[in-house]
Amino acid sequence: MKKTGGGLIRVGLIGPVLPYRGGIAQHTTMLHRTLRAKVDLLSVSFKRLYPKWLYPGKTVLDSGYKGHKEDGVAYDLDPLNPVTWEKVCRRFIKHAPQTVIIPWWTVFCTPCYLSICSYLRQKGVKILFLCHNVVEHEMTEWKMTASKLVLSQGSRFFTHSEAEAARLKALIPKAEISTYPHPVYHKFQGPLVKHGRRAKLELLFFGLVRPYKGLDILIEAMYQLRKEDIFLTIAGEWWYKDESLKSRIQSVKDRIEVVDRYITEGETATFFDRADVIVLPYRNATGSGVIPLAYHYGKPVITTTVGGLPEVVVDGVSGRLVKPEDPDALAKVLQEFLLMDPASMHEGVRKTAESMTWEGLAECILNGIEKNI
């Protein structure tokens, strides 16, 4: 328990939690659960997150958590309804937190967060931004401006990589930043169903399919290796249309399975269980929640030398690193895995994951908060 002279440290947390789907909601849920055991915590989530016309996915909720309400969370906030912003502010003032933690990942929340932060700061409450993405992946000038406007409200900051901390420093030069890697998830269960293998080497590309994730690079590498005993599963909802990419997939369709939908938490283990290695050929990245998920299942990761990815994938120990946008280099590494036993990296994965815990993350955040009290 973290205490001050007046008792437990009082902390606020704003962000999506279960039953909302996706990596940010999973992360905020685990952070809420961990902090709750250490501080006097008030967590606020969303009564509505994205309007249907803005969100490219089929649903914002995880069907595996239908009707779920996370214990100790008030689902009060609607980013499009200022009345709820005021309600949230009143909740926090009544709780009297020293600091409110706000995960930052999308400029959609700019008006809402600006209003809440401005009010809380006037009341003497400090803001700690947990920056998943300092600026969104599909970066534009106006998104950069909006991000700077919101983040300038912070008195302290947190990132999951030194690369993202450097990006934040460029945007907010005086930012006080703490860094800790994205923790490994351990709440995901084992596979509900065991699927048979389809090749000597089973690959998995997991998560939302978006342009920056470089799926086309992986497909080109698969085409080069079309005569090898390799099979790729693409599991995740497609958030953009690329007919040329889908046509290229058809050229090696006997070596690829496409599961174009959101993968629920209950289904996740089934896909990771069959995979030998997880492949994330990102063009650019801040980090990836898929890597700690892969480590939870003991799977090595092939990814690229962009953003904070090299900070959590140790080349030759917990996976392999390749240059971005280089299908030849990726194909070469895939061939190397074909000639080895991927299970030989399991011990390296385990050791790497030891330094990526939710307890460690919570302590790092709370140490930063104590410096501001």
Q: What amino acid is encoded at 63 in this protein?
A: S
**282: three-class secondary structure by DSSP:** coil
Identify the domain containing residue 120 by its residue range.
3-183+357-372
> Which residues does 116 contact at the CB level (< 8 Å), separation at least 6?
14, 85, 88, 89
Statement to judge: residues 254 and 161 lie in one domain: no
Q: Kindly state whether residue 194 falls inside one of the protein's structural domains.
A: no
Per-residue pLDDT of the chain (373 residues; tens, 9 = 90+): 565 545 689 999 999 999 998 899 999 999 999 999 999 999 999 999 877 766 666 778 888 888 899 999 999 999 999 999 999 999 999 999 999 999 999 999 999 999 999 999 999 999 999 999 898 777 788 889 999 999 999 999 999 999 999 999 999 999 999 999 999 988 777 776 778 889 999 999 999 898 999 999 999 999 999 999 999 999 999 888 878 888 888 888 899 999 999 888 888 999 999 999 999 999 988 888 999 999 999 999 999 999 999 999 999 999 999 999 999 999 999 999 999 988 899 999 999 999 999 999 999 999 988 876 6
Instruction: Answer whether 0.85 is exceeded by the pTM.
Output: yes
Q: Kindly state whether residue 193 falls inside one of the protein's structural domains.
A: no
Cα atoms found within 13 Å of the Cα of residue 231, Cβ hemisphere only:
15
Q: Kindly state whether residue 112 falls inside one of the protein's structural domains.
A: yes
In DSSP terms, 205 is beta-bridged to 234
pLDDT of 56: 66
Q: Kindly state whether residue 192 falls inside one of the protein's structural domains.
A: no
Helix 162-171, helix 141-151: angle, nearest 10: 90
Statement to judge: residues 127 and 48 lie in one domain: yes
Statement to judge: residues 151 and 212 lie in one domain: no
CA distances to 58, 109, 146, 165, 354 from 292, rounded to whole Å, are 25, 26, 29, 19, 11
Q: Kindly state whether residue 32 falls inside one of the protein's structural domains.
A: yes
CA distances to 86, 97, 168, 171, 258 from 16, rounded to whole Å, are 18, 19, 22, 25, 28
Between CA 221 and CA 327 the distance in angstroms is 5
- Residue 320, domain CATH: 3.40.50.2000
Q: How many domains does the chain have?
A: 2
Statement to judge: residues 299 and 364 lie in one domain: no
Statement to judge: residues 155 and 255 lie in one domain: no
> Which residues does 145 contact at the CB level (< 8 Å), separation at least 6?
none
Burial class of 141 by CB neighbour count within 10 A (0 to 12, 13 to 18, 19+):
exposed
Closest CA to 178 of 197, 196, 161: 161
Statement to judge: residues 50 and 90 lie in one domain: yes
Between CA 320 and CA 314 the distance in angstroms is 7
CA distances to 84, 294, 351 from 74, rounded to whole Å, are 12, 31, 37
pLDDT of 55: 66
Q: Kindly state whether residue 196 falls inside one of the protein's structural domains.
A: no
Statement to judge: residues 160 and 23 lie in one domain: yes
Q: Kindly state whether residue 118 falls inside one of the protein's structural domains.
A: yes
Residue with tokens 């302590």: 363
Supply the Cα-derived Rg of the chain in whole angstroms: 21
Statement to judge: residues 96 and 120 lie in one domain: yes
Statement to judge: residues 97 and 141 lie in one domain: yes
- Backbone torsions φ then ψ of 353, nearest 5 degrees: -70, -20
Statement to judge: residues 314 and 172 lie in one domain: no
Q: Kindly state whether residue 227 falls inside one of the protein's structural domains.
A: yes
Between CA 333 and CA 305 the distance in angstroms is 14
Q: Among the residues of the chain, which ranges form H helices?
A: 23-36, 82-95, 110-122, 141-151, 162-171, 215-224, 243-250, 265-274, 290-296, 327-338, 346-353, 358-372
pLDDT of 295: 96
Positive/negative CA dihedral, 188, 191, 195, 197: positive
Q: ω into residue 19 within 30 of 0, thus cis?
A: yes
In DSSP terms, 202 is beta-bridged to 231
Statement to judge: residues 245 and 319 lie in one domain: yes
Statement to judge: residues 251 and 280 lie in one domain: yes
